[in-house]
Amino acid sequence: MNWRKAIWISIGMLVVLFALFDVRVNFQFTMPGDKRELDAGQEARYAVCYAARDKEIHKVAFGTIDNPDVQKLYISNNRERAASECRQRFPQQWVTVMEPFRFNLLDLRRRF
């Protein structure tokens, strides 16, 4: 009798779980170890440099050039130059990060 009661309670709890939560299987398993990745600070400085140069390029292109085809050519040529100049100022740097043990089986998100 106790097994039947336990099974019915478990089924009821599962029904409530699936009714109240959006359940997704998201299996992730990683062992601890060293991982190489790009330095986030250096990449942020590069992005700021590139955004400033890109803004200046657009300002010059739309402020002085009337022909749309020439504007497009000017912007694409100067974007490449800006990217290479900013990359020279802020080169890619790799850092070693200790990745912890991670285990994930289910993702739960409230429905209401």
- Does a structural domain hold residue 9? yes
pLDDT tens column, 37-75: 999 999 999 999 999 999 999 999 999 998 999 999 999
Instruction: Give the residue among 83, 92, 89 at the shortest CA–CA distance from 39.
Output: 92
Specify the DSSP element, H or E, that contains 79.
Answer: helix 68-89
pLDDT tens column, 91-100: 999 999 998 9
Residues 18 and 55 in one domain: no
- Does a structural domain hold residue 108? yes
Task: Report CA torsion sign: 15, 19, 21, 26.
Answer: positive
Q: pTM to 2 decimals?
A: 0.63
Residues ≥6 apart with Cβ < 8 Å to 35: 96, 97, 98, 99
Total domains in the fold of the chain? 2
Residues 24 and 46 in one domain: no
Instruction: Give the residue among 86, 63, 58 at the shortest CA–CA distance from 74.
Output: 58
Residues 61 and 84 in one domain: yes
Residues 51 and 73 in one domain: yes
Provide the domain limits for residue 85: 40-92
